[in-house]
Amino acid sequence: MRGRHKVPEKQDGQMIDRVLWQSAAALAAATWLAGSAVAQATDPGETLDAKEIPAVSADAEISRHPDGGPEPGRGSVTNLPLPRYVSLKGGEGNARRGPSLSHRIDWVFRHAGMPLRVVAEFGHWRRVEDQDGAGGWVHYSLLSGVRTAIVRKDMLELLAKPDEHSNVVARAEAGAIVRLHECNPTWCRVSGGGEKGWVPKSAIWGVDADETRE
């Protein structure tokens, strides 16, 4: 299982072998340690139970400008903020070079719940990128409004409270995908593997530095 797969190109009738790139989320299996119990997933996506991801459209909260046009810093189609974060709805999503089925596939995202950042809109298509900046145009039906994040720090401690001196509830390896909950200016509450706790915002990818969530 790979988080992101680079699709080979054809040139002059010959297949060019391209390097298969993998994001950190695809390389690390999530391991949660809570007390004496150890729960290890064979794939980072398993840290996020499919039942935990409701069927929420990435464009569910459409808010149009009164004059009919998009507000500054918002998408021309949905009027939602750009950039913004979404997640991959299913286990696979094709990222194309342009916003139509006629454009070639550059990347294949293979990770349910994988956080992605929407940077542009065109019709039913959204241009997205992962934590490494790789991506392309993805059909909006493949994206979910459910917020997730990728752990960037190895053996990241999940704390009972947003305080560095608080009790450790669990730990997660770098690359684990977690569900994103509340966020204040410096901390976010996340969950995965049946555990929930607070982590420094700087230790995860999938939320902006100045973003707050209730």
In a domain, 67, yes or no: yes
Count of domains observed in the chain: 1
Q: What is the pLDDT of residue 71?
A: 73
Q: What is the CATH number of the domain that holds 66?
A: 2.30.30.40
In a domain, 119, yes or no: yes
In a domain, 90, yes or no: yes
Q: What is the pLDDT of residue 17?
A: 26
Cα 106 to Cα 4: distance, rounded to the nearest angstrom: 10
The one-character DSSP state at 100 is S
Spatial contact of 174 and 84, defined as CB atoms under 8 Å apart = no
In a domain, 133, yes or no: yes
Q: What is the pLDDT of residue 201?
A: 98
CB count in 10 Å sphere of residue 43: 17
Residue 134 burial by Cβ neighbours in a 10 Å radius (0-12, 13-18, 19+): middle
Range of the domain at 99: 55-146
Bridge partners (DSSP) of residue 143 are 88
Pairing of strands 4-6, 187-192: unpaired
In a domain, 28, yes or no: no
In a domain, 212, yes or no: no
In a domain, 204, yes or no: no
Cα 183 to Cα 15: distance, rounded to the nearest angstrom: 46
Q: For residue 63, is it left (φ>0), alpha (ψ between -120 and 50) or beta?
A: beta
Q: What is the pLDDT of residue 70?
A: 57
> pLDDT tens, position by position, for the chain (214 residues)?
347 767 655 443 332 222 222 233 333 333 333 332 222 222 233 334 444 444 566 765 444 445 555 578 999 999 999 999 999 999 999 999 999 999 999 999 998 999 999 999 999 999 999 999 999 999 999 999 999 999 999 999 999 999 999 999 999 999 999 999 999 999 999 999 999 999 999 999 999 999 999 9
In a domain, 80, yes or no: yes
